[in-house]
Amino acid sequence: MEYEPVIGIEIHARINSKTKMFCRCSNNIFNEKPNSHVCGICMGHPGMLPATNQEAVKKGIKAALALGCTINEFSKFDRKSYFYPDLPKGFQISQYDKPISEHGKVVITLPDSTSKTIGITRLHLEDDAGKLTHTAGGTLVDFNRSGTPLMEIVSEPDMRSVEEASLYARQIQKIVRYVDASDADMEKGQLRFDINVSLRPKGQKEFGVRSETKNLNSFRSLEKALEYEIKRQTEILESGGKVVQETRGWDDNKEVTVSQRGKEEAADYRYFPEPDIPPLVATKEMIEELKKEIPELAHAKADRYQSELSLPADHAHQLSGNAALADYFEKALAVSGEPKKTANWILSELMAVEKDITHSKLSPENLGKLIKLIEDGAISGKIAKDIFQEVYEGDLDPEKVVEEKGLKVMSDTGELEKVCLGVIGKNPQIVADFKGGKEKAIGGLVGQVMAATKGSADPKMVNEILRKLLS
Ligand code: ADP
Ligand code: MG
Ligand code: ZN
């Protein structure tokens, strides 16, 4: 029998606010000395009072808006009970039945350029736990991460392949970065995935029993774990067995998922409203203000680049996929006025030398000017490529470079005629050959005029002038 995978993903993204979710400790914890960013609140001391971080809430709302979610004007926090040594409170502060936002969607573009919409069930806010490090001498605990702000983004079970799941996860990373809600740097543990996978016979409507594999922290492990789970469940079903609903972990070295525990139900967590934190109220005005801060998103940009600027789909997606690159393109375009050439120059010439577009050596204005010079016919594309490296290295004004080097196309026919006459005078033999019927001899004269003008003349024009002078 042929089976179809059904995949839903829960993504934890660290909000990049200055401080933690419910205390004033710094949220900048990467590579910091263990337990150097802690206080009574995030260490779970009894009797401490948490206070909600407004900046983190606003960033969460911005991400939710960018994901097309409806913002709930009233939401609240709940305690979700766990017992772990790195969770000194004995519970996580999360949002259960009244999350800050729900019902969003994300569009992914498949390699064949078709799009698919993946539903977002909810985005809610919560705090993170600390971190355990197991050593030969015992287990160490670092509470720097404890209380750092997270948004959990839960998808609908809408994905049907590893590829779709991977594109979805990448799209979420892009979107939370676009609105500056999270740096979403996986190497710093700022983005983590839980994958829910089930199989069903092709054509069947009901979903099968799922497993959940937690805490994948790279796109590679996300893909590998999905492949592994699909294969594992296929083998179980094909041999007549039943998939058990359970929580699994990922062994990155062996590249296998391993059973950790039976699936816990909501009741196991003993959810109840967090009594120390007032409900979250997001006013209509606040939501409207935040909406204004959201930049045009990658997908909308890609559509616009194609419809308004007539860029080919691949260029439109390449440019819009990275906010800094899109910004660079739009600034250069404002000067050059020529979308296709500008896209080409950025994606070929510039990308070949520039590794960090955010701090590009060459300003978009100067690149725009260079393209405009070609567009206006002041220099040829070849000259532009010749001087590109120099313009790039020094962020030079290409107009000045062209001026100083005398590289402008000699569109002044009087000027060109003079050069042509000079070349004719110096080459009686070639002239005689040409006049004697050797058509090809004129090439020699054109070449010398081009050399004399340092390539700045239009060879076609030179050819015409020479023929006129020699007739
Ligand atoms: P929990 O919070 O208990 O893990 P949820 O019902 O909130 O469970 O679902 C978590 C994730 O599992 C969601 O992303 C959802 O889309 C996905 N999911 C639910 N049912 C299935 C299924 N049968 N197969 C695959 N994914 C599923
Ligand atoms: Mg879950
Ligand atoms: Zn603290």
> How high is the mean pLDDT of the chain?
92
Reported as a single tens digit per residue, the pLDDT across 70-115 is 999 999 999 999 899 999 999 999 999 999 999 999 989 888 878 8
Domains with residue ranges and CATH for the chain: 3-289 (no CATH), 296-405 (no CATH), 413-470 (1.10.10.410)
Q: Give the number of whichever ligand sits closest to the CA of residue 168.
A: 1
Mean pLDDT of 181-191: 95
pTM of the model: 0.74
Mean pLDDT of 157-171: 96
What angle is formed at CA 354 by the lines to CA 350 and CA 357, rounded to 5 degrees?
95
Burial of 246 (0-12, 13-18, 19+ CB in 10 A): middle
Mean pLDDT of 193-199: 97
Reported as a single tens digit per residue, the pLDDT across 120-137 is 999 999 999 999 999 999
User: Which alpha helices (DSSP H) does 180-252 contain, by range?
Assistant: 219-238
Do β-strands 246-251 and 3-14 pair in parallel, antiparallel, or remain unpaired? unpaired
Which residues line ion ligand 3, judged by CB < 5 Å? Answer: 23, 25, 39, 41-42
Answer yes or no: is pLDDT of 411 > 70.
no
Q: CA-CA distance, 388 to 370, in Å (whole number)?
A: 8
Answer yes or no: is pLDDT of 300 > 80.
yes
Q: Is the pLDDT higher at 376 or at 43?
A: 43
Q: CA-CA distance, 146 to 78, in Å (whole number)?
A: 17
CA of 394 to the centre of ligand 2 (A): 52
Answer yes or no: is pLDDT of 264 > 90.
no
Q: Is the pLDDT higher at 169 or at 267?
A: 169
The 3-state DSSP class for residue 79 equals strand
CA of 185 to the centre of ligand 3 (A): 22
Ligand 1 site residues (CB inside 6 A) read: 6-10, 154-157, 196-198, 207, 210, 212
pLDDT of residue 342: 97
The 3-state DSSP class for residue 250 equals strand
Reported as a single tens digit per residue, the pLDDT across 7-47 is 999 999 999 999 999 999 999 999 999 999 999 999 999 99
Distance of CA 340 to the CA centre of its chain: 22
